[in-house]
Amino acid sequence: MSDSRPLAERMRPTSLDGYIGQKHLVGKDAVLRKAIETGILPSIILWGPPGVGKTTLAYIISQTLKRPFYSLSAINSGVKDIREVIEKAKGQGLFGVAKPILFIDEIHRFSKSQQDSLLGAVEKGELTLIGATTENPSFEVISALLSRCQVYVLKHLDKAELLQLLEDAIHKDKELSKRKITLQETEALLRLSGGDARKLLNVLELVIQSSPEGDVTLTDAFVLEHVQQNLALYDKAGEQHYDIISAFIKSMRGSDPNAAVYWLARMLEGGEDPLFIARRMIILASEDIGNANPTALVIANNAFQAVNIIGLPEGRIILSQAVVYLASSPKSNASYKAIEEALEMVRQTGNQPVPLPIRNAPTKLMKELGYGDEYKYAHAYENNFALQEFLPDAVKGVKFYDPGNNAREREIREFLKKRWGEKYGY
């Protein structure tokens, strides 16, 4: 009977000796291998790109240590599911069974409350948590949970490791070994994989399945012909996800509506979440267009709301309209640079005191201390402006916002120059 499971699943190793890659973690005398072999394993976070063996490693750890293994996906699991697993873990502990392992895939997708629900069990040692994430855990995992876990970084598989994976699949997989498969050229397979072992095996399986029965010789041209016919080259969960959204943003920033619409089409055809696209457009409208055309932010935000209501396929029209507008707008990153420079100044100078004239004075004591004294109410003066100091003494006169060289911001510059003269060097 043939095995109908995907090749990547059939080739999943069950021991560290069969595990390919991550030698810095599980090679001879490597830190994680030592922890596994001694059985002294803390809760851990496995951080790395897709298809490098995070799930497989978690399973191998549980098998090596002979511990019960529970698996949850953050995409479709909630607090209730976590609590049920924790209760099962407690029950097993009562009968002297080894501490269970709870593996959570894409742990960065868990909300704060979901991550909070893990804390107690991890703290008390009722289970060992293994979380897998493609995102930097410093930003995506709450500090209380992160402090109780050891973070291990997994890397893309290198060329030699990917070639080994191909050879193993061809010669050791029961289904593929039924045919004579010759790897004459491998560049296309390796390039399409992007260092992702799962993707490499998926492409190999696809090419073999779409080949005529009998012997098959794999060349780069042969692989590309069959992949282009049968496989969407946009992987919304993998490396191309980041490459294509980068191309999309840079095309709009570079004022090329034709390229921007093309990359939009690539993402939509590949199944990307339209709201993810719309959110990135809102960011671009402020970061890269800003006050050169303030309407851009309105358009981008309205596009997000409209796509949220309408959905696909009609939402593609709304996205296209907004993309063309943003790409065709004048550009300025002056506001973005202003907040970055202001944040850096705050980090350097710390918590500077608010000048007394612009402090709030809700109580009699505060008024007696001079809070609000000499404050000039702008609307009481000509042109609704009065010259006064709003910055702390330590940063007095520092200019953070430098208007861009575009029609709208040239007007802003003139406005500020008339108000502030040479104070800020406008």
Q: Cα–Cα distance between 82 and 300 in angstroms, integer?
A: 37
Please state the separation of Cα 413 from the chain's center in Å.
Answer: 37
Contacts of 369 (CB under 8 A, 6+ apart): none
What average pLDDT does the segment 185-205 reach?
A: 86
For the whole model, what pTM was predicted? 0.56
What's the fold here for domain 239-327? Zinc Finger, Delta Prime; domain 3 (1.20.272)
**Band of the pLDDT at 1, cuts 50, 70, 90?**
low
54 burial type by CB count under 10 A (0-12 exposed, 13-18 middle, 19+ buried): buried
Q: How far apart are the C-alpha atoms of 337 and 388, rounded to whole Å?
A: 24
Write the pLDDT tens digit of every residue in 308-351.
998 888 999 999 999 999 999 999 999 999 999 999 999 888 88
Q: Residue 362's pLDDT is what?
A: 78
CATH fold group of domain 159-230 = Helicase, Ruva Protein; domain 3 (1.10.8)
pLDDT score, position 91: 67
- 299-310, pLDDT tens digit by residue? 999 999 999 998
Q: What percent of the chain has pLDDT over 90?
A: 44
Arithmetic mean of pLDDT, 15-27: 92
249-258, 322-331, 415-424: segment of lowest average pLDDT: 415-424
* Mean pLDDT estimate for the chain: 87
Place of tokens 């596009």: 303
| Distance (Å) of CA 215 to CA 146, 179, 200 | 51, 6, 20
Instruction: Give the DSSP letter of residue 177.
Output: G
Task: Calculate ∠ Cα 252-243-150, nearest 5°.
Answer: 125
Per-residue model confidence (pLDDT) at position 84: 86
Give CATH superfamily name and number for 21-153: P-loop containing nucleotide triphosphate hydrolases (3.40.50.300)
DSSP string, 144-173: HHHTTSEEEE-----HHHHHHHHHHHHHH-
Own/partner pairs, 265-268, CB within 8 angstroms, 24+ separation: 266/234, 267/234, 267/236, 268/312, 268/316, 268/319
Domain range summary for the chain, segments of one domain joined by +: 21-153, 159-230, 239-327, 351-420
CA angle 66, 165, 13 (to 5 degrees): 10
Residue 57, Cβ density class (10 Å: 0-12 exposed, 13-18 middle, ≥19 buried): buried
- pLDDT tens for 355-367 read 888 888 778 777 8
3-state secondary structure 68-130: CEEEEECCCCCHHHHHHHHHHHHHHHCCCCCCCEEEEECHHHCCHHHHHHHHHHHHHCCCEEE
- pLDDT score at 232: 47
Contacts of 313 (CB under 8 A, 6+ apart): none
Q: How confident is the model at residue 228 (pLDDT cuts 50, 70, 90)?
A: low
CATH 1.10.3710 fits 351-420, yes or no: yes
Contact 296/271 with Cβ under 8 angstroms? Answer: no
Contacts of 137 (CB under 8 A, 6+ apart): 45, 47, 107, 108, 131, 146, 149, 151
Specify whether the CB–CB gap between 289 and 325 falls below 8 A. Answer: no
Range among 98-107, 196-205, 323-332 with highest mean pLDDT value = 323-332
Q: For strands 101-105 and 216-218, give the pairing.
A: unpaired
Rg of the chain on CA atoms, in Å = 29
Residue type at 411? Answer: E
pLDDT score at 286: 96
